[in-house]
Chain A
Amino acid sequence: MSNNVLHLENVTMQFGGVVAVDNFSMDINEGEIVSLIGPNGAGKTTAFNCVTGVYEPTNGLVEFYGKPIVRNHPQGKMKKGYLGQNGDMYLGEVISQTPDEITKLGIARTFQNIRLWKSMTVFENVLLAKHMNAKQNVFSATFRTNKKEEERMRRETLELLKQQGLDKYKDELATSLPYGLQRRLEIARALAAEPKLLLLDEPAAGMNPQETEELTAFIRQIRDDYNITIFLIEHHMNLVMDISDRIYVIEFGKEIAHGLPKEIQKNPKVIDAYLGG
């Protein structure tokens, strides 16, 4: 059995009286591509945000390589108003981290609506992902006393851009690229952070069938090239069925099925959720 990378346990996210993610558990193993699917508003992105630190889940535990990175139990107002389950399972220590701390641990992500830095070039966009791990402080960076570090960052960035076939656009503004390439650039930027786990939030959104096909191959390739694990949210069934090792399906925040793509395709609950019943 391969290593467990990400482990979610009874994660519940409640906003006021709405339970967006309800007692959701999942496991991702090393080298896998795992997808999370569900109808609109099912809570996919919310689940994502609980992992990346954008939201602090109301209850539950998230572990990364066996180490807890997020852990919470209903507190304050939520103590009385909590509508989920297992409210007393994770009492005691609360662990919450900001998104940048979680990224430093080795979880990088992309966004559903592309979020590149508008005023910067392709090169600078990727280069900046190296900033967090650079061995420098504000003085050595300003007075250029540590030129090697800056050179290393630039060299590695250029290498990565070459691998991703983006080097010919390197001096262009990121937002001037065509849509498909912007998606690629966002993935390249996430890769530059040297993650162990890559989270892709609807990478094929807004793409035509041909671009989607290219993306499928691309995602598989980066998994193999960089030895990383990939967790994605997607709507395009073709892409999901084609690429995923395993699939989780949620509806109204609750898991309704999980398993291999073949099993999911035949699952009556899933068909119900997607076709409406």
Chain B
Amino acid sequence: MLNEKKGISRGAIITLMIVLVVCILTIVLENTINPNSLLFTVIRKAAVYSLVAVTMNLLNGFTGLFSLGQAGFMLLGAYTYAILTIPTDVRDSIYYLFGGAGFHFSTVSFFEGIIGDSGVAGFISMILGVLIAMLVGGIVAAIVAYLIGLPVLRLKSDYLAIATLGFAEILRAIFQWDKLGKVTNGANALRGYPTFADFNIKNAQGITVLRLSSFIPILFAGICILIIILLINSSYGRAFKAIRDDEVAAEAMGINLAKHKMMSFIISSFFAGVGGALFAMFASTVQAKTFTSAMTYEIFLIVVIGGIGSISGSCIASFLYIACSEWWLRFLDNTQYINGNQLPLFKNGFRMVVFSVVIMIIVLFFRTGMMGDKELSDLFNKKRRKKVKADE
């Protein structure tokens, strides 16, 4: 990262190329093979999870704050996004258990009112509405993070983890409270808002021309991750790392601990909120009961498997993890036969057993994860350096 004299290092360019290839491949594949393939579910979910894992890595890996509140901030982002984007005309039918919605503003309907609601104009107003709602979702998460951070960031290590975990659980309970039903729809699901599928481009007859529903999550998550990478490589990112390495030395060198910890917490929560909005778009319904602490653990596992302190590690691990849990290891849950004999163990739940064993092996024997604290670009740079040496 120091070789910035020559602009961007070669490793960074190669990494960018890889990301570009993945994007193009996603678009091409989605438009050629069966769009209902599990592959695309994996891509969408993994893109969302990689963003959330990166935000968690920013806190745990780069600032050294052991926080487990990510699901709570995702919940805030997801609910804010859903509440803001459900079109006004379907609102009352979704909130029917509470006698109609208590909140009638919708960003999508608002832009449709200005730009128009059909054809290209409708598409543009949908995108604008979605973007603004996502941003507001992030801001809500950031504001709540600030308020929570005031008391909680004075705690250290495990105590901070317990406090943030508790906060996420409290939030989940609050959003299920039926007294707030007019806004949150109580324990019932919110739906009807724009999802990734709405980004598929259709022609006038309503036939899909170009499928973008798997590319859009990669794009949104990618932009957010890029901003986080820029932050980490800036002076402030270095200050975060200094706090992680040695708090006492950081403070002695003029780094305001409270301010920098709060900054990291707020930025991480903002992007977790955006990630929550993306998760809402992926799942197409929002329900508080999905944002459990098990979700936070899943994300934390991705961070650990990828390597604490490695952004590219978190991204790769999230794709692998989601692919395994949603796709490759699915067969373990189904009854299997060999020569007509039913195999023992292969029944519902066995997947999670295998998964737990794999995770234990990783934690016991590969404690630094796949990437340690290296980035993909570092690996490419190192290879080149070795080559140069060999040439000499």
Which residue numbers of A lie inside 8 Å of B, CB to CB?
52, 54, 98-101, 103-104, 108-109, 111, 115-121, 123-124, 127-134, 136, 138, 141-144, 150, 153, 171, 189-190, 193
- Complex interface: chain A residues within 8 A of B136 (CB): none
Measured CB to CB, the closest approach of chain B to A143, in angstroms, equals: 7
Whether a CB of chain A sits under 8 angstroms from the CB of B251 is yes
**Chain B count of residues within 8 A CB distance of the other chain:** 28
Measured CB to CB, the closest approach of chain B to A56, in angstroms, equals: 14
Determine which residue in B2, B242, B252 has the highest number of CB atoms from chain A within 10 A of its CB, and name it.
B252
Contact partner, B238, options A52, A127, A190, Cβ 8 Å: A127
Complex-state Cα separation, A115 to B250, whole angstroms: 9
- Complex interface: chain A residues within 8 A of B392 (CB): none
- Complex interface: chain A residues within 8 A of B91 (CB): none
Name the interface residues of B237-262: CB closer than 8 Å to any CB of A: 238-239, 241-242, 244-246, 248-257
Contact partner, B253, options A101, A129, A134, Cβ 8 Å: A129
Given the interface contacts A131-B255, A143-B230, does A150 sit within 8 Å of B235 by beta carbon? yes
Residue in chain A with minimal CB distance to B248? A115
Complex-state Cα separation, A171 to B9, whole angstroms: 15
Complex-state Cα separation, A119 to B375, whole angstroms: 14
Contact check, A193 vs B246: say whether CB atoms are below 8 A apart.
no
Residue in chain A with minimal CB distance to B249? A115
Q: A104-B254, A111-B252, A143-B230 are in contact. List 6 more A-B contacts (CB 8 A).
A: A100-B254, A119-B245, A120-B245, A127-B235, A128-B235, A132-B256
Contact check, A142 vs B230: say whether CB atoms are below 8 A apart.
yes
- Complex interface: chain A residues within 8 A of B255 (CB): 100, 128, 131-132
Whether a CB of chain A sits under 8 angstroms from the CB of B373 is yes
Whether a CB of chain A sits under 8 angstroms from the CB of B388 is no
Contact partner, A131, options B248, B254, B263, Cβ 8 Å: B254
Residue in chain B with minimal CB distance to A119? B245
- Complex interface: chain A residues within 8 A of B147 (CB): none
Whether a CB of chain A sits under 8 angstroms from the CB of B31 is no
A-B contact pairs, 9 of them (CB 8 A): A54-B248, A98-B251, A103-B251, A103-B254, A118-B245, A120-B242, A127-B235, A132-B253, A190-B253
Complex-state Cα separation, A189 to B238, whole angstroms: 14
Complex-state Cα separation, A117 to B2, whole angstroms: 16
Determine which residue in B236, B238, B249, B255 has the highest number of CB atoms from chain A within 10 A of its CB, and name it.
B249
Measured CB to CB, the closest approach of chain B to A5, in angstroms, equals: 19
Contact check, B248 vs A117: say whether CB atoms are below 8 A apart.
no
B interface: dominant SS: helix
Measured CB to CB, the closest approach of chain A to B370, in angstroms, equals: 18
Contact check, B236 vs A117: say whether CB atoms are below 8 A apart.
no
Contact check, A144 vs B230: say whether CB atoms are below 8 A apart.
yes
Complex-state Cα separation, A128 to B309, whole angstroms: 19
Contact check, B241 vs A131: say whether CB atoms are below 8 A apart.
no
Contact partner, B241, options A104, A117, A130, Cβ 8 Å: A117
Measured CB to CB, the closest approach of chain B to A167, in angstroms, equals: 13
Complex-state Cα separation, A136 to B239, whole angstroms: 13
Contact check, B227 vs A108: say whether CB atoms are below 8 A apart.
no
Complex-state Cα separation, A130 to B309, whole angstroms: 23
Complex-state Cα separation, A20 to B238, whole angstroms: 36
Complex-state Cα separation, A30 to B263, whole angstroms: 38
- Complex interface: chain B residues within 8 A of A100 (CB): 251-257
Contact check, B251 vs A117: say whether CB atoms are below 8 A apart.
no
- Complex interface: chain B residues within 8 A of A133 (CB): 254
- Complex interface: chain A residues within 8 A of B93 (CB): none
Contact check, B2 vs A142: say whether CB atoms are below 8 A apart.
no
Given the interface contacts A117-B241, A117-B246, A128-B242, does A142 sit within 8 Å of B253 by beta carbon? no
Contact check, B249 vs A142: say whether CB atoms are below 8 A apart.
no
- Complex interface: chain A residues within 8 A of B242 (CB): 117, 120, 128
- Complex interface: chain A residues within 8 A of B241 (CB): 117, 119-120
Contact check, B251 vs A99: say whether CB atoms are below 8 A apart.
yes
